[in-house]
Structure 1
Amino acid sequence: MKFTAILALLLTSTVSGFTVKPNLGGRMNMKINMAEEAVVEAVEEPTAPPAPKGPTKVPCFGATPWLGGPKFVGENYWDKLTMEYGSADTGSFLRAAELKHGRSAMMATVGFAFHKCGLTLDHISPHKYLSVSEGVTFADLAAMTPLEAMKHVPAEGLTQMFGFIALFEIFELTHKNGKLVSDATVAPGLSPGGLTGDLGWNPLNVEVTDRRRLSELQNGRAAMVAICAWVAASEIPGSFPLPLPW
């Protein structure tokens, strides 16, 4: 009897040693994870800023560097022409027009200065006459002011100048990336953004950087101001307040 009681006591203690205890840590972890998920769901995702209303501002290349950063003279008019009355393609056309006018003005200032400094064709050209049929000699033109000389150029000579300039314009109107476009319903130069002033003519393979582009624009702007001042000083005495070298 005593042996049976002792055996039952041993079996009871052995079974209690193998009893599985509840995993309280697992329950706590589950509660913590559920709380974290609830916090994540409660946090609202950041919303993207609203898209700007109206046309996008068109950047303008060629702002003049001043103290404190580049300044864009006429920015209000630029914004009106490119955002209100036109688009970014309008800006490309305006920049091309400025570039071409600047190049023409640079050529004009060189010719005007050569004439005023006496470097005229009567000292350079082996020919005496500009036009034999009209009886116009280079010496006659050299004795005149630059504007008077231009007025005495015969119509045939002015037509040649116009035709020379028209060749470049027609080239830009009909070519794209230096190649003639013949299968387009609209000429490349007449399509939006087609005129840029870049003719693709670079025989010396000069690297075209933004600094060189800006230099050309600035020199063209200076030339446009200079030729206007020189013409005014030549035709209206006293209209230009600064002394000129001629």
Structure 2
Amino acid sequence: MKFLVVLAALLSSSSAFVSQPKPAGVSTQLHAEMSESLPFLTRPEKLKGWVGDVGFDPFNLSEYMDMKWLRESEIKHGRSAMLATVGFVAQQYVTIPGYEHVDDSNLAPSVVGVSAMLQIVFWMGVLEFWTNKGNVTMETMFLDPAREPGNLGFDPMGLGKGKSEAEMNDLKLKEIMNGRLAMFAIGGMIHHNWVTGEPLF
């Protein structure tokens, strides 16, 4: 604990020596649009026009990284988190044939073993490579300007057919908001089990 306090003090004092870019003018700062989610910060310009924008970019990542890549990352993490939350709850009540049942999801990786966990990593890597036609870096993922972040062309139920742009944006917003909630949820579920040492339910 003492180490963390000292580290925090060093980091906060070192920020005094970091040069900050000077504002273009006082009037710009006075009339800057404030963030909806963080009203004490100015609204990040590059977030405007993106579905789900509430002006949340406290580390200013949108200024230094490709917004398409950031949106793709958010959508993929949200989708993974939504699946993870369902899996976290289901494994407490469902046992895969041939495996030992465990109530604590944090113990599941040790029960199934390293081989099963590495299979997940390997096949997700193959899927990532295949869906992006080998373009998996930030610099190459969106070489095709027509490629839309998160759109893998997978719509077996036809939910996107015949929808207007406004209706599609509504569906996208629902997916993004549910994904954001699921990212918080899975983090809370995992930490619940760590802290209490007991199953989720």
TM-score range, shorter chain: 0.5 to 0.7
Query: Which TM-score applies when normalising by structure 2?
Result: 0.61
Residue of structure 2 in register with 1:148 after alignment: 107
Larger RCO of the pair (alpha carbons < 8 Å, separation 6+): 2
Q: Distance in 2 between matches of 1:205 and 1:188?
A: 29
Q: Relative to structure 1, is the Cα distance of residues 106 and 190 closer, same or farther in structure 2, using a 3 angstrom cutoff?
A: same
Match of 1:73 among 56, 77, 83: 56
What do you get for the CA RMSD once the two structures are aligned?
3.0
Residue of structure 2 in register with 1:115 after alignment: 91
Residue of structure 2 in register with 1:99 after alignment: 75
1:159-198 residue pairs with structure 2 within 5 A? 159-174=118-133, 189=141, 191=143, 196-198=149-151
- Per-residue CA distance 1:116-155 (angstroms, 9 max, x = gap): 3x1332xxxxx4x2xxxxxxxx2x2x23411101122222
Number of aligned positions between the proteins: 146
Identity level (%): 25
CA positional deviation for 1:159: 2.3
Residue of structure 2 in register with 1:13 after alignment: none
Q: Distance in 2 between matches of 1:201 and 1:167?
A: 17
Residue of structure 2 in register with 1:221 after alignment: 180
Greater Cα radius of gyration, structure 1 or 2: 1
Structure 1 gap segments, 5+ residues each:
1-55, 65-70, 122-126, 130-137, 177-186, 239-243
Q: Distance in 2 between matches of 1:195 and 1:236?
A: 40
Residue of structure 2 in register with 1:57 after alignment: 45
Query: Which TM-score applies when normalising by structure 1?
Result: 0.51
CA positional deviation for 1:192: 7.7
Higher strand proportion, which one?
Answer: 1
Contact 1:189-1:195 at 8 Å conserved across structures: no
1:203 aligns with 2:156: yes
Structure 2 gap segments, 5+ residues each:
1-43
